[in-house]
Chains A and B, each alone.
Chain A
């Protein structure tokens, strides 16, 4: 079982819909990241969370440390939001400092 699981794997929605992408993890973490990747493109960091909730424009990210779960919400979705959204965690404690990634959620917003 992967240490970071995302759902859904694929999501197609109509422009304007409210979008939720979920991320569950099975390890202790010091931080959780939400990343965005367009096809053939680079990776953009959207949020880094260690507790609570963050908002940037139409994007909202929440995390529940006790339940080991995070959600990324997109309000008033737009075709330009179409991308792969990746959840990644930084494990707590010593050892590896690199991120551990989920497999990503492929989001398509249709006009």
Chain B
């Protein structure tokens, strides 16, 4: 049973370009969470999705960031017109159900560098 997969593991973009980060949850998991870890800072929640639904996006920046989790395929975190401040490690986690006592399993992360 493969773990949570993220790709790419490292992504370099120039200012103004778009970044697409992919997350494939563990088999049987239908809930995905995205977290961001800025340099020298702790992890912060960004968004929680179920298949075809955004459940909670209270941690997402208001502009340039979007997320989806289609019926088929991985969850995508999309950052438009990237700026240097977007450089960070982005982690996704998955769980079999989204409430209370369910453990989240983390992926290896995507390290985004904006030049």
Contact = CB atoms under 8 A, between A and B. Distances in A.
Which of A86, A98, A103 has most B Cβ within 10 Å? Answer: A98
Contacts of B99: 97
Interface residues of B, number: 28
Nearest to B100: A30
B25 interface: no
A97 B99 CA distance: 7
Interface stretch (B16-24, B63-71, B72-80, B106-114): B106-114
A99 B91 contact: no
Q: How large is the interface on A (under 10, 10 to 19, 20 to 34, 35 or more residues)?
A: 20 to 34
Given A30-B100, A42-B91, A97 B33 contact: yes
Interface string A8-19: 000000000000
A102 B33 contact: no
Nearest to B43: A101
Given A45-B103, A50-B101, A98 B56 contact: yes
Interface in A1-56: 30-31, 33, 35, 40-45, 48, 50
Can you list the 9 inter-chain pairs with the closest CB atoms, starting with the nearest?
A98-B45, A42-B108, A43-B106, A30-B100, A101-B43, A103-B42, A48-B103, A97-B48, A101-B42
Interface of A: 30-31, 33, 35, 40-45, 48, 50, 86, 88, 90, 92, 95-104
Interface of B: 33, 35, 41-48, 55-56, 58-59, 91, 93, 98-101, 103-109, 111
